[in-house]
Amino acid sequence: MRAGKFIEKHFWIFLIGGIVLGLWDPIPFRAPDFIPKLILGMMLLLVFLKIDALEILDNIRNYRLMIYIAAFYMFIIPLAFYFSMLIFDAEFAIGILLLTAMPAGVSTPALADILKGNVSLSMSLVLVTQLMAPFTVPLLFWIIGNHSVSINKLLVFKDISMLVFLPLIISQVIKKYFPVAISKTRDLITPFNVFLLFAFEYIVISAQREIILANPATLIWETVILYIVFILLHIAGYMIYYRGSKENRISVATGAAYMNNGMAIVLAASYFKPEILVLMVLSELPWNTLLAPFKKVISRL
């Protein structure tokens, strides 16, 4: 039990460890593409064991709140960052638009759990934004006059089904037939998810190591800007739901700052220049290292 509490409290050690290990001693072979998805699915399964599926549906039924938050996630924030960055560099601005236009990542409920946020609200935002993304992302690029992005809606829906709905169903079956076991192991779920997040980071960083280290000079300033962008995303996300409880505001901020950058990497590789692909890969660094400082800040609010 003490070990679990230590892991939960010092989760940042494992998050940074996954990045450092991936850059210093990467996996000597390329992991199959399904492995990161499998890890994400396992993380969500564990999170679902701690919440009631009806809570997720209740949040989604609050359509005004969902529309309000989704409008910020999928339109206002991406366009605001795009036009701000356009002053400095048009190519960089497109990369930031692609990154910030992504839906909330499927791992955000697990992150919200670590941060003591409202996990059911976080899960609702994941579902809503993932379903919106095939329509809103191409629309954003149409608005700015760039028609290069088109998302395979069927493929996206398949991923959502496998990563979200399947773990949700399995978790409810487990809770129904093994309630005592779930009750006894509840405190171990978050620490185990920290280990899974470590494994996820190690695999992803290992696969992208060569791109990250290819051009150190350019990467430094791009990484600095990305850290600024992610810090602003945390702040903007926390302020969006200004009337909500602290738990709800944490969940909204988590969804805003921890987007599905894996999808951004795939789209960048398919439709954009290599420079934008590098930018999407670099987003892994602030994505994986700002959670601990954010938790420290919100603990004092």
pLDDT computed for residue 296 by the predictor: 92
Q: Is the dihedral of CA 160, 212, 234, 236 positive or negative?
A: negative
pLDDT at 162: 76
pLDDT at 291: 92
113-164 residue pLDDT tens: 999 999 999 989 998 998 888 889 999 999 998 777 777 776 667 776 777 7
Cα–Cα dist 184/187, whole Å: 8
Half-sphere exposure of 274 (CA within 13 A, CB side): 6
Give residue 69's pLDDT. Answer: 96
The mean pLDDT value for 65-92 works out to: 93
Would you tell me the crossing angle of helices 77-86 and 216-240 to the nearest 10 degrees? 140
Percent of the chain residues topping a pLDDT of 90? 31
Tell me which of 292 and 157 has the higher pLDDT.
292
Output the CA torsion sign for 81, 85, 90, 92: negative
Tokens read off for 24? 């210093």
Structure tokens at 214: 């290819």
239 has a pLDDT exceeding 90: yes
CA-based nearest residue to 168, from 54, 290, 5: 54
Angle at 111 between CA 290 and CA 36, to 5 degrees: 95
Helices (H), the chain: 2-9, 11-24, 34-48, 53-61, 63-71, 77-86, 90-100, 108-114, 119-143, 153-160, 166-177, 179-207, 209-212, 216-240, 246-257, 261-271, 274-282, 284-289, 291-298
Does residue 184 carry a pLDDT above 90? no
Rounded CA-CA distance 113/124 in Å is 14
Residue-range domains of the chain with CATH? 32-298 (1.20.1530.20)
For residue 292, pLDDT beyond 70: yes
- Quick one: average pLDDT of 168-179? 87
CA atoms within 13 A on the CB side of 238: 16
* Among 141-145, 165-169, 295-299, the least confident range: 165-169
pTM, entire model: 0.82
Query: Stretch 285-294: mean pLDDT, rounded?
Result: 91
140, 78 Cβ separation under 8 angstroms: yes
Place of tokens 């079956």: 173
CA distance 82 to 99: 10
Bridge partners (DSSP) listed for residue 104: 259
- With beta carbons less than 8 A apart as the criterion, state whether 248 and 65 touch: no
Between helix 291-298 and helix 246-257 the angle, nearest 10°, is: 160
